């Protein structure tokens, strides 16, 4: 389900076309958030206005840190 969301720095979002991006910066003015810098998974960045952000239909991507399971060789390096 797509909902209007406030931009949260370092959170990942997915738009209607399935593009994954992260909010890198939010600039604030007298009337609140003025513009945002978003970074796509490929590293490209885009500056958008808060008005443009509010028009996007977004899903918040799972922002939990995922712990990668260590392989046996990595475990051996840690213990030695």
Domains of the chain, by residue range, sit at 1-64
Give pLDDT, residue 35.
93
d(CA 25, CA 14): 17
Q: What is the pLDDT of residue 66?
A: 46
pLDDT digits (tens, 9 = 90+) for 5-24: 789 999 999 988 889 999 99
23-68 pLDDT, tens digit per residue, is: 999 998 887 768 999 999 999 999 999 999 988 888 888 765 544 5
According to the model, what pLDDT value does residue 20 have? 93
**Model pLDDT, residue 65:** 53
DSSP label at residue 70: P
CB-based contacts of 21: which residues, under 8 Å, 6+ apart?
12, 13, 15, 38, 39, 40, 41
């Amino acid at each position: 389900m797509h909902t209007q969301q406030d931009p949260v720095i370092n959170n990942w979002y997915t738009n209607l076309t399935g593009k994954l991006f992260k909010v890198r910066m939010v600039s604030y003015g007298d009337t609140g958030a003025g513009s945002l810098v978003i970074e796509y998974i490929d590293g490209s960045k885009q500056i958008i206005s808060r008005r443009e952000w509010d028009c996007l239909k977004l899903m918040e991507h799972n922002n939990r840190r995922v712990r990668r399971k260590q392989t046996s060789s990595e475990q051996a390096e840690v213990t030695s």
